[in-house]
Amino acid sequence: MAEDPFTLFDAWFAEARRSEPNDAEAMAVATADAQGRPSVRMVLLKGHDRRGFAFYTNLDSRKGGELDANPQAALLFHWKTLRRQIRIEGGVEPVSIEEADLYFASRARDSQLGAWASDQSRPLDRRETFEARFEELGRTFAGQDVPRPPRWAGFRVIPDRIEFWTDRPHRLHERRLFVRDGPGWTEGLLYP
């Protein structure tokens, strides 16, 4: 075995991008608040390398608050057509300001305006309030680049565990677990 987990992730992710009908980048992100109460939601992977796996959000969102209070997260990729999953667990750190600015600038303009318009995870009295705010911001930033909102940033999950799960007939699934061991990784199998 002794394969590098990042190399294996890259191979599986490339295959998922070719074969998954929708959003191969979709991943569940599980966090917990300071009291340990868990929460999970779907987000999109927006970058990965040997440092970890990055996604972006409003820092005032529920997940932003939970990651501030408890900087640990678990990720799950489930590619049903490939009959594969990847589970990732580890500590979380903010991405650099430069990375956040670069990614924000790459987003569609309406997505940029939406980031300004949304008080993510906060109560909304009615949909029209949000839509009116979005339209007003469109006028405010007309003819200019939309800057990254100060409370919008990214997080990187720095893995200390990566599990690769492959579906097999009769629930005889294959589970390969990589655990960080200093600068490297140890690998083993888990019962399904």
This prediction's pTM: 0.93
Nearest-CA neighbor of 53 among 162, 181, 149, 188? 162
Q: Are 94 and 101 in contact (CB under 8 A)?
A: no
Does the active-site annotation cover 126?
no
Residue 158 CB coordination number (10 Å): 17
Domains of the chain plus CATH, in order, are: 5-107+151-190 (2.30.110.10)
Which pLDDT tens digit goes with each residue over 91-150?
Answer: 999 999 999 999 999 999 999 999 999 998 889 999 999 999 999 999 999 999 999 999
DSSP letters, 70-85, are S-EEEEEEEETTTTEE
17 Cβ contact partners less than 8 Å away, ≥ 6 residues apart: 24, 25
Q: Kindly report the number of other CB atoms within 10 A of residue 19's CB atom.
A: 11
Give the residue-averaged pLDDT of 5-25. Answer: 95
Closest Cα partner for 180 from 32, 22, 50, 30? 50
Q: What rounded mean pLDDT belongs to the chain?
A: 95
Choosing from 171, 175, 176, 180, which is the catalytic residue? 171
